[in-house]
Structure formats: structure tokens, C-alpha cells
Amino acid sequence: MAVVFERPHALLDVDTHYCPGCTHGVIHRLVAEVIDELECEGRTVAVVPVGCAVMAYDYFACDAIEAPHGRAPAVATGVKRALPDRVVFTYQGDGDLAAIGTAETVHVGTRGENITVIFVNNAIYGMTGGQMAPTTLPGQVTQTSPYGRDVKTQGNPIRICEMMATLSGTAYAARVSVDSPKAIGEAKRAIKKAFQYQLEGRGLSIVEVLSSCPTNWGMSPTEALEWVRTEMQGYYPLGVYKDVGGEENV
């Protein structure tokens, strides 16, 4: 019988710790499918964050390093400089990448570090129980913005792809979503392009994936996906913000 669907080789056969309805699992799978299709698992090193994906080293079948909070791009830089022919990617959440690790994020962009950054934006700190993130939307209620994020006192959400697109060393910056089968297909194409650009030595590639957090948003999984579509995509428009090999802002 023909096999039409199976676990990607680059994803280990283990249960993950992610909450029901969380889209980390989908994003893991997309990254793993891309690694399989590019046949690069044996020469790939993953650098995983502090946050919900902290244990991703147990899920990806490639070699993996667990970085200090926010430092994954710096750790990935070290790996890539030591082993330039390896494929190196970071997998980071919004607190990790856009708050404590902002400097590291900006500087891999400006250096044009030839690595790939998978940025999972769910507008909240999930692992620590739902605090306000740098990407939390205006008015969004979290544990540390219990009256809704007031941009006057708590600042504005940061749009990472737009910022990274301004940096000369960024080769590819795209924002995608995984809220529908169609969106998942587009997300995979973006992730694949990001890895391909790395293989071609073009510089930094970053894919921001809008993700859901039903647990900390206090929603059902379906409601959460709807919130990604209606609320998050309004503030964080999907699209390609930079592509040195193609058209911009498709």
C-alpha cells in the first residue's frame, strides 16, 4: 500500500509537551518536512530557545543545542562560524527573540549571518503562564496586563519582520500563519525558501509564524485560530517583507 502521510524523519517519534490546540506541533512538522525534502538532517544543528519550545531538542532528530534565553542567534553564530557547511537554524518565541534577545536578533540580521531563524509569535509568554509579550496586542489581556495592554504605559507591540527587512544582511523575511490548511502550505513554502537561501549562502533568513496559544488566551483551539486570523493578522500583516531573490511585499 502506498504511504501518503507519515511522520517526517527529522521529527523524532516522541510525544511533545505542547498544549492541545497549540500550533508549535504544526510548525515543528513543517520545519522537519523541509529538512527531509532538502535532505540535510545529518548536517543540521538546531538551536532552541527558552520558552515553550525549550525542549524542542528532544523532538528534532538533528543535533541540537539549548541556548540561554534570547541568545539562540548568538549560539547559532558560533556554530555556523565553526562549521560553515552545516545548516543552522534557531527556533524562538516572541519573548525570547523580541524582548530579551532583541540585540542578538538585530545583529545576526545586520551581519548577514548565514542562518535561518524560525520565529514563533503567539503574542504571549506561554511557558511562564501567560504574561505580556513584546508582541502582545494593544488592549490584550494577559497576566501582567490584566486591564489590557495600555500602549501609553506598556509600550507598543513590535513588528519584527518589518524591522528585520530594513537590515542589509537580511536576505529573506516573511510572516506566515498556520491557521488553515492553505496558510500551512504557504508557511511551509516560506520555511523551505528560508532554508534554501541558507544553503545558497545568501545571508540571514527569518520566517515569523503567527501561532496560537489557546491555554493562555483562554480560548478554545478553534476560537484561538479565529483570533489569529482576525486580531493578530490585522496588526501583523502576512507577507514577504524582504526577498533578495524575488519581489518584495508580495
Partner 1 sequence: MSEKLLMKGNEAVAEAAIRAGCRHFFGYPITPQTELSAYMAKRMPKIGGTFLQAESEVAAINMVLGAGAAGARVMTSSSSPGISLKSEGLSYIVGSEVPCVVMNVQRGGPGLGGIQPAQSDYFQATRGPGHGDMHLIVLAPASVQEMVDLCYDAFDLADLYRNPVMILADGMLGQMMEPVEFENQPHRELPEKSWATNGHQNRRPHNVINSLYLKAPELEAHVRDIFKKYETIREKESRCEAYLADDAEILLVAYGAAARLCKNAVKMARERGVRAGLLRPITLWPFPERQLFSHTEHTKAFLTVEMSMGQMVEDVKLASQFRVPTYFYGRTGGVIPTPEEILEQILKIAGGAR
Contact footprint for partner 1 (CB under 8 A): 12, 41-45, 47, 54-55, 57-58, 60-68, 71, 74-83, 86, 103-104, 106-107
Question: Which of 61, 209 has the CB closer to partner 1?
Answer: 61
**Which grid coordinates are listed for 100?**
530579551
Q: Among 144, 124, 53, 136, which Cα is nearest to 90's?
A: 53
The CB-of-28 to partner 1 minimum distance in angstroms stands at 14
Question: Which of 75, 178 has the CB closer to partner 1?
Answer: 75
Question: Which of 62, 161 has the CB closer to partner 1?
Answer: 62
Question: Which of 56, 132 has the CB closer to partner 1?
Answer: 56
- What 3-state DSSP class applies to 109? helix
Q: Which residues share a beta bridge with 125?
A: 131
**Which grid coordinates are listed for 184?**
500551512
The CB-of-117 to partner 1 minimum distance in angstroms stands at 14
Question: Which of 52, 61 has the CB closer to partner 1?
Answer: 61
**Which grid coordinates are listed for 172?**
529573506
The CB-of-237 to partner 1 minimum distance in angstroms stands at 29
- Integer Cα distance of 54 and 231 in angstroms: 27
Q: Are 127 and 206 in contact (CB under 8 A)?
A: no
The CB-of-55 to partner 1 minimum distance in angstroms stands at 7
The CB-of-226 to partner 1 minimum distance in angstroms stands at 33
What are the residues whose beta carbons fall under 8 Å from the beta carbon of 21, sequence distance 6 or more? 212, 214, 215, 220, 221, 224
- Integer Cα distance of 145 and 230 in angstroms: 21
